[in-house]
Amino acid sequence: MSEYPIRIGPVEFKNPWFAASGCFGYGLEYKEHIPPSELGAVVTKTVTPLPRAGNPVPRLQETASGLLNSIGLQNVGLEAYLRDKLPPLVEAGGVPFVSISAASLDEYARMAERLTEFPEVVAVEVNLGCPNVDAGGDRDAAEARAVEHFTRTVKERLPDRAVAIKLTPNVTDMVPLARGAEQGGADAIVAINTLGGMDIDLERARPTFARERAGLSGPAIFPVALLKVWEITGAVRIPVVAVGGIASEREVLKFFMAGATAVQLGTVLFSKPTLLREVRSGVRRFLDARGLTHPHELRIARARETADEGPSQEGGKAWVPTR
Amino acid sequence: MGDDEARLQEPRSRPGQFAMLLAKPSQHLVRRPMSILDEGDGWRSYMVKPVGPATRELVATRVGDPLEASEPLGNGFPLPEELGPGPLLLVGGGFGIAPLHFLARRLDAMRHPPKYSILYGGRTARDVEREVLDDVLGPVLPSTDDGTLGFHGTCVDLCVREVERMEQRTASAVVLTCGPHAMMRALFDAVQDRVPTIHVSLEEIMACGVGVCMGCVAHTREGYVPICTHGPVFAAGEIFGFEHQLSHGESAHE
């Protein structure tokens, strides 16, 4: 269904509905609810060069309108992913947007080189924002030059793939990180990863999670994600894929108005794996009622442009409410 | 609590399976995993311990109220036909009695059920909801830590006594247990030398229930595996035989 095609770098996607990394498994776990072929792309569970065991339990804690997690990138590792998980997703008509994480530039280089042998991997999301690991986590990518180097290392090896850089919001300002990714040749920015958070077990009088720090997702983080997306779309020329706190078509519409090119559904899928259908029909109704034909027409004009950059993108046609 | 969506769901569930539940509407985000207590034509029941606001919402629902409910999930206990001639000891600690009740009901429905007893332990008489087991045909042996009901001691102590009474019949004995983690570990330690088959049903905080989020893992010989899809029922040795090699809180990071 190429309802609202979008382009990220060299790749065209049939629609802007993506599943967020970590929330859709390797793409087939929810196939009875949502066949992966209905999504523009499936951003897979992050894979690392070697298998990762992940963190001890507890790994989850619900908060007010949010979910804290400390999974720690448990995954099968790149080779087992390519051998066991990628083929069935492709077979099922899913578009693999493979999320990768590594602890060093060398490791990123090797992962990217290995992926050149798999042309079916049309897109790669570089996860520079995980708060739940030591090496290669958000603290190693909280600075623009580091982001630029990681980005260039992957992109120069995968010039014909869409390379998106997923950034951490756990910094004072995400805009320099986004510019670093753009400088490094990124085809898109993905914003935001989970917000750093923690919980304390009252009975045991100690931090709930073994690593103390965890990542917050869910509706609680939507306003933060919207602001970050708004700031980034005002500062870079490459597409921004918005993720964080989508619970209905309303958040999706707001992300499009803030300038996002595509959206990722995340935590909401755990309790509503079929939300995609509601989002899709809700967005269509909203567009149809206003005589619009594509979500990118929702992008709103800015009264205040960011201080040191001009208007960010030619696609920023103002949408004036009709009533 | 009635589950009106259950009517549409085939096949029927296995004892030891669980469903992800949330009141509808709810103030909460992710559904909570609950063992199935019983099911019949068009309904399914659960026993919910009010440990926090989401479970209190569930407890406040009434028969016929709508629920957010998944289909039955997880592996469940071995099928009654797979359990052999017994004797079976069903050992429940607190709310861990729920899946064992369901199992006993399925055993009662067999043409030639194996011999089984239910051992149901709580701290005090108030923690033992004896009436939950009123519709079960097999013998029920309650225990309380303070002696206010039934056997004076833990259900682990009671299980040891029952195993000793079996003498040579322990060769085909099976222990199936659900309860607090520490209780199940103590039970494994106490009877593993004499009882060849022990299955435990584990509990953990879950978000998806279908192996996607990797939130609810158990540490086994294979590493961390999701309890929702690889369990919640495991051979006890798979869990406790291995866990002893780890000190508490030790991470299994690579």
Cβ distance B215 to A218 less than 8 Å, yes or no, reads no
Is residue B185 within 8 Å of B197, Cβ to Cβ?
no
User: How far apart are the C-alpha atoms of A243 and A178, rounded to whole Å?
Assistant: 15
Query: What pLDDT sits at residue A163?
Result: 98
- Concatenate the DSSP letters of all residues of A284-300 into one string: HHHHHHTT--SGGGGPP
Q: Determine the residue type at A71.
A: I
Asked if residue A315 belongs to a domain, the reply is no
Asked if residue A1 belongs to a domain, the reply is no
Q: Which residue has the higher pLDDT, B245 or B26?
A: B26
Q: Which of A53, A59, A270 comes nearest B252 by C-beta?
A: A53
pLDDT digits (tens, 9 = 90+) for B38-86: 999 888 999 999 999 999 999 999 988 999 999 999 999 998 778 888 7
Q: Report chain A residues whose CB lies below 8 A from the CB of B19.
A: none
Instruction: Give yes or no for residue B3 having a pLDDT over 60.
Output: no
Query: What pLDDT sits at residue B149?
Result: 95
Cβ distance A71 to B214 less than 8 Å, yes or no, reads yes
Query: What pLDDT sits at residue A269?
Result: 94
Asked if residue A221 belongs to a domain, the reply is yes
Whether A210 and chain B come into contact, CB under 8 Å, resolves to yes
Cβ distance A58 to B253 less than 8 Å, yes or no, reads no
Which of A39, A76, A122, A130 is labelled catalytic? A130
Cβ distance B254 to A71 less than 8 Å, yes or no, reads no
**Residue A217 binned pLDDT confidence (cut-offs 50, 70, 90):** very high
Whether A67 and chain B come into contact, CB under 8 Å, resolves to yes
For chain B, domain boundaries: 3-69, 80-243
Fold that domain B80-243 belongs to in CATH = Rossmann fold (3.40.50)
Q: How many CB pairs under 8 A join A and B?
A: 94
Whether A202 and chain B come into contact, CB under 8 Å, resolves to no
CATH of the domain at A44: 3.20.20.70
Mean pLDDT, chain B, integer: 89
Mutate to test the interface with B, among A271, A272, A274, A275 (most CBs of B within 10 A): A271
Q: Report chain A residues whose CB lies below 8 A from the CB of B224.
A: 53-54, 74
Query: What pLDDT sits at residue B63?
Result: 86
Across the range A268-272, mean pLDDT stands at: 93
Instruction: Give yes or no for residue A313 having a pLDDT over 70.
Output: no
SS3 content of chain A, % helix, strand, coil (to 5): 30, 20, 50
Query: What pLDDT sits at residue B6?
Result: 42
Range of the domain at A58: 6-287
Query: What pLDDT sits at residue B82?
Result: 85
Task: For chain A, give the percent of residues with pLDDT over 90.
Answer: 84
User: How far apart are the C-alpha atoms of A45 and A72, rounded to whole Å?
Assistant: 11
Residue B246: closest CA among B222, B209, B219, B210: B219
Name the region of B146 (left: φ>0; alpha: ψ -120 to 50; beta: rest).
alpha
User: How far apart are the C-alpha atoms of A299 and A226, rounded to whole Å?
Assistant: 13
State which residue of chain A sits closest to B251, comparing Cα positions. A56
pTM for the full predicted model? 0.90
pLDDT digits (tens, 9 = 90+) for B124-144: 999 999 899 999 999 999 999
Q: Which of A24, A67, A210 comes nearest B249 by C-beta?
A: A210
Q: Is A23 a catalytic residue?
A: no
pLDDT digits (tens, 9 = 90+) for A245-261: 999 999 999 999 999 99
Query: What pLDDT sits at residue B167?
Result: 77
How many domains is chain A built from?
1
Q: What is the CA radius of gyration of chain A?
A: 19
Q: Which of A23, A50, A66 comes nearest B212 by C-beta?
A: A23
Instruction: Give yes or no for residue A280 having a pLDDT over 90.
Output: yes
Return the biggest CA–CA distance within chain A. Answer: 58
| Interface residues from chain B to A (CB-CB < 8 Å) | 20, 22, 28-31, 54, 68, 204-208, 210-217, 219, 223-224, 249-254
Q: Is the ipTM of this complex over 0.90?
A: no
CA-based nearest distance B24→chain A, Å: 12
